[in-house]
Structure 1
Amino acid sequence: MSDEPMVSSTVLERVAFTDAASDMVRQLAQRHGPVMFHQSGGCCDGSAPMCYPDGDFIIGDVDVLLQEVDIEGVEQAVPFYMSESQYEYWKHTHLTVDIVPGRGSGFSLEAPEGVRFLIRSRMFSQEEMEQLKLL
């Protein structure tokens, strides 16, 4: 037995997708190829998560990659970005991408389907913030 401390292999997720949102991502990826998300910071549709064909939205130096999310049935992990300034406000928050009926006013891929992605959020627990080194 080793005297070295155990290191947890569990990686804390910053972003998750509901089953309904995952279903829509699968459909969009089948139609458009790999997709990515950028959390809008007030342009177009308020602060909605926007889905684009991967590479169609130019990521800048001020964008933060929160996570690459593995969605069952989607060939490539789905990157999720937001601007650095918005991240400063949301870094203590776990984001869950959901989908609801209704059309957003942006250019997100799901708009023609009569649905829109939205964010449900919760604050990270004290333990999660320590794991993420946010304290």
Structure 2
Amino acid sequence: MKKIILTLCMLPLLIWVQGCAPATYEIEGYTASSINPDIPVPSNAKLIKVITDSGNRNIKEGVMYELKHIGGEQGLYPPMDYFQKLADTGWVELEEERMGHIHFLKKDTTVIAIEIREDTFEIYEMIKGTVF
């Protein structure tokens, strides 16, 4: 009898704990970014807007994508599998230039900045010769 009561008491707790588990994002493959075909983007990411005038003189152009939970809670957790895909395609992170949510990567002479948020990420192609 005690086992049944204990089981009935534990069931709501287990359901509550499962419901509070953090949501995760899922990448279903990759496609080329609309600003630069050398930049892979999760194929299930939704293009929200193209940024042609950011107000920053170091930015050539940018794009904003939506992918639920890509940055984890409050954008605190960068998507390591996405950054691994970028590394696999030749992009090298400039770790000394990183600024919080903004990661800078370089391939050949092209420098990009990726800003990771909780449900969105933005990719900016920097103007050649950008000084940090």
TM (normalized to structure 1)?
0.26
Higher relative contact order (CA 8 A, sep 6+): 1
Bigger Rg, structure 1 or 2:
2
TM (normalized to structure 2)?
0.27
